[in-house]
Amino acid sequence: MAAVKEGDYDGIREQVRKIMKQPGYDDGSAGPVLVRLAWHASGNFSLVEHTGGSNGAGMRFPPESVDPANAGLHHAISFCLPIQAANPWLSHADLWTLAGITAIEDMGGPKIPWEPGRTDYSTAEAAAEHRGDISERLPDGALGADHIREVFGRMGFSDREIVALSGAHALGRCHEDRSGFEGQWVVNPIRFSNQYYKLLLRDIWKPRQWDGPFQYEATVAGTKLMMLPTDMALVQDPKFKPWVEKYAADQDLFFKDFSMAFAKLIELGVARDDTGFAQLVKKSAREGKPLDQTAQPSGGGCPFAGGKKRDAKL
């Protein structure tokens, strides 16, 4: 992988596109696992403790790297390593999030706003001191609506945003040797679309009879598909279901809402200073107050909504 000029993020996007094809890996594409890497690197943020989030790239170190919820993500990190090695000016944290949004776009999804400035932990000790205990913050596919709201609410997401972000299950598949679950959600798992919602609304899902954890199954167009309990919760819950119906009927609306929600997700835990970089300093230390007395972010909405317009590309 050749180096690109420092700050050339369009050049980095092109390099991500070059690693998308991965013969021998799931469906021949690194795309879905790159999206999952960006998601899991960001989705452990807490508005209460002000820890976690995409800044720091903590998944390079234990215990985050060996968290069962992150099983299999070493593949995505490995796919990204040639890019990072050729461009040492680029932080892992910026690369992981940029790779995720580039993969979504490359697989037919919407453009997603993105800004650089994330920095990396230099050691496992630095990561542990700054992040603290962020275990058990990611969704458990075996649970229901209350769990989903607890996990996403901790990050400041509304019901609408929760359902929009769940649409990422249009990509990829579960692996029995990672999560315990097995199978893909949609017929084409390397194409981003609203098919996930259309399938959720169909009366075709039956409990799978097998020795693994409880999940649902159906066969569509000759392809065996699955849904998790957390997926079915979106149509069983009266406040989630209307958004499933809206996104099933209107892909443009889904793309719009997903773009803004995912942009918000990958910004969690990223507080840039005047230099444009997000220094790895605890919010409480920066404000000189105990954690339980620090101010929470205002608004709670997407950081890209309102104010100065930010383009999807730099």
Name the residues annotated as catalytic.
40, 185
Q: One-letter amino acid identity for 306?
A: G
What value does the CA radius of gyration of the chain take, rounded to a whole number of Å? 19
CA dihedral 240→246→247→252, nearest 10 degrees, is -140
Residues 6+ away with beta carbon under 8 Å from 204: 218, 220
The DSSP output letter for 219 is E
Count of CB atoms situated within 10 Å of the CB of 35: 25
Segment 66-70 long-range contacts (CB within 8 Å, at least 24 positions apart): 67/135, 67/138, 69/40, 69/136, 69/138, 70/40, 70/138
Q: Is the dihedral of CA 76, 78, 82, 87 positive or negative?
A: positive
Alpha-carbon distance of 133 to 131, in angstroms, equals: 6
